[in-house]
Amino acid sequence: MNEEAISGGAGDPAEARARLVESLRASGRAGPVVSDAFLAVPRHVFLPRELAARAYEDAALVTKWDAGGLPVSSSTQPAMMAIMLEQLGLAAGHRVLEIGTGTGYNAALIAQITGDSGSVVTIDAEPDLADQARASLAAAGFAGVTVVCGDGAGGVPGHAPYDRVIVTAGVWDLPPQWLAQLGAGGRVVAPVSVRGIQLSVAFEREGAHWAARSACRCGFIRMTGASAGPEALVPLGPQPGLYALVADGPAPGPGPLQEALSGPAADVAAPSGLHVGGIAELADLDLWLALTEPGLSRLSIGGRHAEPAGLARERFAGLMPLGGFARGDSDGQLGVAALAVPAGRAQDDGPLAVAVRGYGPGGAALAARLAARAAVWDEAGRPGAGSLGLAVYPAGTRPAAAEGSVIIHRPSSVLVAQWPPPPAQQEATWNPTVS
């Protein structure tokens, strides 16, 4: 493939790569070491021909879909890759295990940083992806990366111990094998589902458990195999098409959910004209609500590869850009609510009034409840992903969690999440009313 074809006729790939790296550096997502790796490794070599022209966009690119139209694998957004590589804290000579090979591009970046004195092992459950990644790594000059085909939940014990483990698929549980295969002083970075919201978390060993050193919001294709979560897909209209992903709570019926989201919306403003600095801070409120309102089901809207264009997409796709919540009331009426984001708003667009949008018969009451809770979040100092304390204990452990902690049980682990507790007077009992 010639350079013009690779760049889609839009210029020199090296120049496009340099512009991308400069944007990553200017945003603070990539430091000098990670920036140099992005400059050295050509992303277009790892992409299918039809996506090569988009190689240096700061965007996630889906590279494989399943028979039902759901995404199976993608090339992660470079900005998110940079964040996770910084979280990983790589150094020359490190031995690294990557769970989720995908295209092989991330493994090449890791190999570039760890150098000839390090080693990189990467595993993917899809045989065709593993084969293609192996070929792309060789073509890009990284034939020394070991590519394994298998279920990443078990790690790759034959090459352990590792200094670092990085997971590039959304995980619902943390298999003990990953932690067992880390050497002394090791670190694991993984997109962990916390009440239906994915956080890229860097964990290090702290006595008998693992403690988070950093966390930030993210969104990855969910892991398959033994570590797959129990999330449900609720179709929204004819399929293949749009659907709601439901996590950590009962799934609403497709008919009532579609009817609720198709009907009129009720916007409820937070008390006292509460504003946030932008979408990122609004996402912190969304995370806080998810953790402090455990009785609600968590919803997000997704789409299948072959989804039909038209009114259904226009109607549903922008309803819950941060995700939302659902609950049936005592009369069995469904309420759905989500933080309202004006159309076209970007993350750095400046202050934004906090409001909650309700859908369905119980939507107004649920929106009012969440809007009131937004004031509690504000009084508590606006806790978000950056200040969230996370710890992981082995399954069966009874951690001595502080008051206000959220304890989430998984088959292989116990996740404890905690912010500094708000004053006692901020705690309230929810007695919902239905309008």
Is residue 108 within 8 A of residue 46, CB to CB? The reply is yes
Reading the block at residue 315, the tokens are: 């109607």
Reading the block at residue 12, the tokens are: 């020199």
Is residue 152 within 8 A of residue 123, CB to CB? The reply is yes
Any alpha helices (H) in 182-276, and if so which ranges?
254-262
Q: How many residues does the chain have?
A: 435
User: What's CA 3's distance to the chain center, in Å?
Assistant: 33
Residues 7, 23, 27, 73: which is the catalytic one?
73
Is residue 167 within 8 A of residue 96, CB to CB? The reply is no
β-pairing, 182-194 with 71-75? unpaired
Instruction: Mark whether 73 is an active-site residue.
Output: yes
The SS3 call for residue 249 is coil
Please name which of 73, 82, 170, 156 lies closest in space to residue 121, comparing C-alpha atoms: 156
Reading the block at residue 432, the tokens are: 């919902």
- Give the other-Cβ count within 10 Å of 400's Cβ: 7
Is residue 18 within 8 A of residue 74, CB to CB? The reply is no
How many helices and strands, by DSSP H and E, does the chain display? 11, 21
Is residue 24 within 8 A of residue 78, CB to CB? The reply is yes
Whether a cis peptide bond, with omega within 30° of 0, leads into 252 is no
Is residue 173 within 8 A of residue 227, CB to CB? The reply is yes
- 187 by Cβ neighbours in 10 Å (0-12 / 13-18 / 19+) ranks as buried
N- to C-terminal Cα separation, the chain: 62
- Give the other-Cβ count within 10 Å of 295's Cβ: 8
CA distance 307 to 47: 23
Is residue 74 within 8 A of residue 54, CB to CB? The reply is no
Residues labelled as active-site residues: 73
